[in-house]
Amino acid sequence: MRLAELSRATEVPPATIKWYLREGLLPKGEPTARNQAQYDDVHVRRLRLIRALVDIGGLTTQEARAILTVVDDPDASIDEVVGAAHGALARVPDTDIDPAALTQVDRFLASRGWTVTPDSPARVELAGIVRAMAQLSPGQDPSDAALVAGLAPYADAIDQLAAAEVAELPHDVPRDVLVEQVVLGTVLAERLIGSLRRLAQESAFLSRYVAPSDTDS
């Protein structure tokens, strides 16, 4: 198909497609005689993946490219693909991380039996979150045990989920299908969990704060 058809098929404007081509996020089409190029289903699929990462995952074009570079490297292992997706998702502060918060996070990780590399971006991100929460809840017990207990409902839910997600990954599929599913499962599912949680919260709030006063009258 030609560029205009690729645009119609994916609902991505031609100018955006051209920009992705220039920026190397989208592979070039097959050149044709009339100074045009032909595109195929690989381009449709890649465009949908880019839009999912950017529009839904909230990644910048640069962050999406960093992931796609690893996806397109046939020598990259699955955990390198996961690492690239995690690197794009983590919001790591520019400033130095409070060493006390990092130590607390490491004790929490050990308490869960979660083994991660020391340069894991999520580990640094979690330290920042733990520190902000402690600062904004001054009456809170600052001990490691209290942190482990406070995070337990979250970690229990996640433990269950992460095991199910890794177990569900297909084994007998080509590498390009597997890596794409890993990226989607990492980036899109993080937004999925966020939106489900807000829906469940909204429902729980409606029943707790609204329903009683509705029935009181």
Of 13-21, 27-35, 63-71, 129-137, the window that binds a second copy (rule: CB under 8 A) is: 129-137
Residue 153 sits in the site that holds a second copy (CB under 8 A): yes
As a whole number of angstroms, the distance between CA 36 and CA 128 comes to 50
Q: In whole angstroms, how close is the CB of 88 to a second copy at the nearest point?
A: 11
Q: In whole angstroms, how close is the CB of 21 to a second copy at the nearest point?
A: 20
DSSP letter assigned to residue 114 = -
Q: In whole angstroms, how close is the CB of 143 to a second copy at the nearest point?
A: 18
Name residues contacting a second copy, limited to 67-126 (CB under 8 A). 77-79, 82-83, 86, 89-91, 93, 95, 109, 112-117, 120-123, 125-126
What DSSP string runs through 43-112? HHHHHHHHHIIIIIT---HHHHHHHHHHHT-TT--HHHHHHHHHHHH----SSPPPHHHHHHHHHHHHHH
Residue 63 sits in the site that holds a second copy (CB under 8 A): no
Residue 194 sits in the site that holds a second copy (CB under 8 A): yes
As a whole number of angstroms, the distance between CA 195 and CA 46 comes to 24
